[in-house]
């Protein structure tokens, strides 16, 4: 059993995440037959099956579930050894694997990348866009170094660092520009367009409309903020979007933007990373640098 390698563990981790040989093989950058051979070799070394192979399904055995949990801990620990070496070199260099939620990425990512390039020219940023839950899984599994998300996350193993706060604004058809701005109670009675489930921004918007968390009576869903704004421009309903999205999303749609009355809905955006990450000090410096850049550069257009 001494010849089990980190590569074996990473292959099995990918298979456990995807539950599909083809997708796992693509993730690992190898062919499906090669992955099958490696997983079978791992099972032979362990002397017990890791998988239940059905005609149309792939499940982990009880031992496989326990094994992948331990394997991920080992993979994360090995990755952190490399991070320790990077941290010892002073300014952050090499690859930075970071995630960004979809309601931040199109509007903030270009500025974030430019800031990194200016302050950390030896850094190779590798962004990944995904919803919050996927990013948390990437962080806890060691696939990501850090992530830009809406705070708080409230995960015990993650450190949170605030970068900035922004308000939500109401987007209505341009024909309604002169009408009074509805309060939260009235907004709930309107045809409200929101992101589909899985997006934290959806939950934040619903919380403003009704703190009791019941669903508005006439709710419609979209897959992106761009889709929601275009639907509003077509006269289908109204929506809420974060302030940073206004310059991009409203420039090609006949809509009116209004600020909501107090209590104004808002969100906090920050960076999160594992508390055990050896790069914590460098990541904290990055978050502070970006925060200063946002404050001086006016990320929210104020």
Could you tell me where in the chain the CATH 1.10.10.10 domains are found? 6-84
pTM of the model: 0.73
Fold held by 165-266? D-Maltodextrin-Binding Protein; domain 2 (3.40.190)
How do residues 275-301 score in pLDDT, each as one tens digit?
988 888 889 989 998 888 877 766 554
* Residue 91 φ then ψ, to 5°: -55, 145
Cα(14)–Cα(21) distance, integer angstroms: 9
Average pLDDT over residues 163-186: 91
Contact status, residue 245 vs residue 103, Cβ threshold 8 Å: yes
Q: 205 burial class (0-12, 13-18, 19+ CB within 10 angstroms)?
A: buried
Give the per-residue pLDDT at 215.
57
The upper half-sphere exposure of residue 50, i.e. CA atoms within 13 Å in the direction of its Cβ, equals 25
**Please, are residues 27 and 18 in contact by the beta-carbon 8 Å criterion?**
yes
Which regions of the chain carry the CATH code 3.40.190.10?
A: 91-163+269-297, 165-266
Q: Are strands 123-129 and 255-259 parallel, antiparallel or unpaired?
A: unpaired
6-84: what fold?
Arc Repressor Mutant, subunit A (1.10.10)
Inter-residue contact 101 to 200 (CB < 8 Å): yes
pLDDT at 298: 60
Buried b or exposed e, range 106-115, using 16+ CB within 10 angstroms: bbbbeebeeb
State the Cα–Cα distance between residues 224 and 103, nearest whole angstrom. Answer: 8
* DSSP string computed for 192-250: EEEEPTT-HHHHHHHHHH-TT-PPPTTEEEESSHHHHHHHHHTTS-EEEEEGGGHHHHT
pLDDT at 276: 86
Give me the mean pLDDT over the 176-181 stretch: 91
> Are 291 and 163 spatial neighbours (Cβ–Cβ below 8 Å)?
yes
Q: For all residues of the chain together, what is the average pLDDT?
A: 86
Q: What is the distance between the alpha carbons of residues 110 and 161, in angstroms, rounded to a whole number?
A: 20
Kindly report, residue by residue over 223-272, the tens digit of the pLDDT.
Answer: 899 999 999 999 999 999 999 999 999 998 999 999 988 788 899 999 99
- Can you tell me the mean pLDDT for 104-131? 91
Q: pLDDT tens digit string along 125-169? A: 999 999 999 999 889 888 899 999 999 998 999 999 999 999 999
User: Which numeric CATH code is attached to 91-163+269-297?
Assistant: 3.40.190.10
Q: How far apart are CA 158 and CA 179, in angstroms?
A: 44
The Cα 51–Cα 30 span in angstroms is 20
What pLDDT does 207 receive?
A: 83
Angstrom CA distances, 26 to 11, 30, 77, 151, stand at 11, 6, 24, 33
Give me the mean pLDDT over the 89-112 stretch. Answer: 87
Is the per-residue pLDDT at 216 higher than 50? Answer: yes
d(C-alpha 237, C-alpha 220), whole Å: 9
CA 209 to chain centre: 24
What is the predicted pLDDT for the residue at 214?
A: 55
Q: Give me 262's structure tokens.
A: 């107090």
Cα(270)–Cα(258) distance, rounded to whole angstroms? 25
Cα(4)–Cα(96) distance, rounded to whole angstroms?
Answer: 28
């Amino acid at each position: 059993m001494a010849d089990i390698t980190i590569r074996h563990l990473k292959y099995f981790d990918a298979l456990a995440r995807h539950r599909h040989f083809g997708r796992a093989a693509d993730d690992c950058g190898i062919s499906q037959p090669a992955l099958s051979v490696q997983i079978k070799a791992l099972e032979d070394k362990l002397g017990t099956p890791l998988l239940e192979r059905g005609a149309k399904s792939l499940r982990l055995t009880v031992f496989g579930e326990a094994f992948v949990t331990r394997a991920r801990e080992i993979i994360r620990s090995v990755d952190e050894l490399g991070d320790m070496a990077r941290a010892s070199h002073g300014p952050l260099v090499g690859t930075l694997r970071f995630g960004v939620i979809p309601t931040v990425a199109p509007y903030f990512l270009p500025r974030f990348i430019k800031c990194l390039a200016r302050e950390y020219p030896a850094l190779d940023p590798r962004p990944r866009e995904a919803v919050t839950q996927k990013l948390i899984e990437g962080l806890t599994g060691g696939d990501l170094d850090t992530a830009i998300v809406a705070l708080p996350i409230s995960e015990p193993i993650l450190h949170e660092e605030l970068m900035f706060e922004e308000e939500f604004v109401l987007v209505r058809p341009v024909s309604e520009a002169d009408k009074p701005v509805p309060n939260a109670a009235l907004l709930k009675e309107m045809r409200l367009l929101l992101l589909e489930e899985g997006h934290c921004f959806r939950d934040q918007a619903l919380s403003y409309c009704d703190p009791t968390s019941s669903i508005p009576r006439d709710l419609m869903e979209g897959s992106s903020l761009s889709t929601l704004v275009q639907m509003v421009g077509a006269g289908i309903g109204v929506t809420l979007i974060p302030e940073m999205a206004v310059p991009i999303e409203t420039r090609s749609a006949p809509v009116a933007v209004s600020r909501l009355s107090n209590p104004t809905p808002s969100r906090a955006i920050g960076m999160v990373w594992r508390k055990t990450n050896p790069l914590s000090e460098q990541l904290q410096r990055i978050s502070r640098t970006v925060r200063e850049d946002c404050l001086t550069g006016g990320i929210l257009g104020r």
